[in-house]
Amino acid sequence: MKKPLVFIAVLAIAGVSGFTLQRAFIDHENQNLTAVIPQAKTDVIGQIRPEFALKDLDGELRNITEWDGKVLLVNFWATWCPPCKKEIPAFMNLQQQYGKDGFQVIGIAIDDEQSVADYSDTIGINYPIMPGEIAAAEIARRYGNRINALPFTAFVGRDGKIAVTKPGEISQAAAEKIILSLL
């Protein structure tokens, strides 16, 4: 009788400890952006962003050089990725708020064109979206996504250098702090 109670008590303590640690980590990440930069640990930070060209949803070939001199949030995502879809409204808000200040969101979908077009039309994405399937995955790798994470976001300064990369979901507040530091 005593052993099962000890086992249950240990499990309860471990569960509470794990939950507390997770909450502390999430709160720390959102309050202290210096934690965002080391997470990526890639060799692309400080390097000139790789050049690429993909067709947008209107069939127009778009080259990353089109946005030279702007602060960029380059987001790699897919329609089948729930955290990716969760970020998009925040990116739309940021585009609307800071677009006039020389900021541009660019969405690169690792997905098929029809799925991306359907989703984009449904929610009214207000920034360029370029579906690229396998080519998009290769571009993401060149931007520092060595672990094939989705979503994956790279922030590029006006000087064209990659300033921050973030595998996984990023909050609007965390993205905004990075953007403001680059504007």
Q: How do residues 80-120 score in pLDDT, each as one tens digit?
A: 999 999 999 999 999 999 999 999 999 999 999 999 999 99
Q: Indicate if 74 and 148 belong to the same structural domain.
A: yes
Identify the three-state secondary structure at position 63: strand
Q: Indicate if 11 and 76 belong to the same structural domain.
A: no
Q: Indicate if 26 and 46 belong to the same structural domain.
A: no
Tens-place pLDDT, residues 35-75: 333 344 458 999 999 999 999 999 999 999 999 999 999 99
Query: In this predicted structure, what is the pLDDT of residue 44?
Result: 95
Residue 167, φ and ψ in degrees, nearest 5: -75, 140
Task: Specify the pTM.
Answer: 0.77
Strand duo 53-55 + 61-63: pairing: antiparallel
Residue 61, φ and ψ in degrees, nearest 5: -70, 120
Q: Indicate if 47 and 12 belong to the same structural domain.
A: no
Domain that holds residue 175: 39-182
User: What CATH number is given to the structural domain containing 166?
Assistant: 3.40.30.10
Q: Indicate if 163 and 140 belong to the same structural domain.
A: yes
Q: Indicate if 11 and 69 belong to the same structural domain.
A: no
For the chain, the distance separating the N- and C-terminal CA atoms, rounded to the nearest angstrom, is 64
Is the backbone peptide bond immediately before 167 cis, with ω within 30 degrees of 0? no
